[in-house]
């Protein structure tokens, strides 16, 4: 068993779970694209190349840039890193764009002919959802920082009352 753990890096249950997930994904993909067995590997290769060679460097660069700006903004950081309040709405907005980009960018599709709906509102709806996500994240961060500030003030008040501050320790002989 230790030889397997060293070779694979995880337990046998993990390997079985991964095989089952790959089989399920293969079954779902084959069901979605019947009769196009050449298109499936081409699509998967394109997705891997598009993700690993294009998207990962882009969002890594964006994340590092945001971290550099926030790092030099204030010397004392809160308990929860502020960067997380940028990462979550940006990731959700990026996923929405990735899923709906043909409609958001008004690329020619069969959608308008099939549904008789216009492509005009998709860009504005995506921008509104993105703005709402960032606004909700900013409000959540503000509430979190306010709660942390209130807790810090309460702690200093309780230390002063109990005499466990620096002056209280000196007087107590500590």
pLDDT tens-place string over residues 22-61:
999 888 877 776 666 677 777 778 888 888 888 889 888 9
pLDDT at 27: 84
Give the number of C-alpha atoms closer than 13 A to the C-alpha of residue 75, restricted to the C-beta side. 0
Q: Which tens digits make up the pLDDT trace of 128-155? A: 999 999 999 999 999 998 988 898 888 8
Q: What is the mean pLDDT of the chain?
A: 81
Q: What is the pLDDT of residues 54-88, one digit of tens each?
A: 888 988 898 888 888 877 655 565 556 778 898 89
- Torsion angle, CA of 149/155/160/165, rounded to 10 degrees? -110
Closest CA to 66 of 85, 80, 50: 85
pTM score above 0.75: no
What is the SS3 assignment for 163?
Answer: coil
Quote the tokens at residue 152: 């810090």
Which pLDDT belongs to residue 80? 60
CA distance 51 to 64: 18
What is the model's pLDDT at position 114? 77
């Amino acid at each position: 068993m230790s030889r397997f753990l060293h070779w694979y890096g995880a337990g046998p249950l993990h390997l079985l779970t991964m095989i089952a997930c790959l089989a399920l994904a293969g079954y779902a993909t084959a069901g979605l694209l019947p009769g196009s067995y050449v298109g499936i590997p081409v699509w998967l290769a394109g997705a891997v190349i598009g993700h690993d060679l294009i998207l990962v460097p882009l969002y890594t660069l964006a994340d590092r840039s945001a971290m550099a700006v926030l790092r030099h903004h204030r010397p004392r950081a809160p308990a929860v890193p502020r960067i997380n309040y940028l990462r979550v709405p940006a990731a959700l907005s990026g996923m929405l764009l990735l899923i709906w980009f043909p409609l958001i960018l008004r690329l020619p599709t069969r959608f308008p002919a099939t549904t008789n709906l216009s492509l005009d509102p998709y860009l504005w709806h995506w921008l509104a959802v993105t703005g709402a996500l960032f606004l909700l994240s900013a409000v959540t961060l503000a509430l979190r920082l306010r709660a942390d500030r209130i807790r810090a003030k309460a702690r200093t008040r309780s230390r002063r009352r109990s005499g466990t501050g620096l002056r209280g320790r000196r007087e107590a002989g500590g």
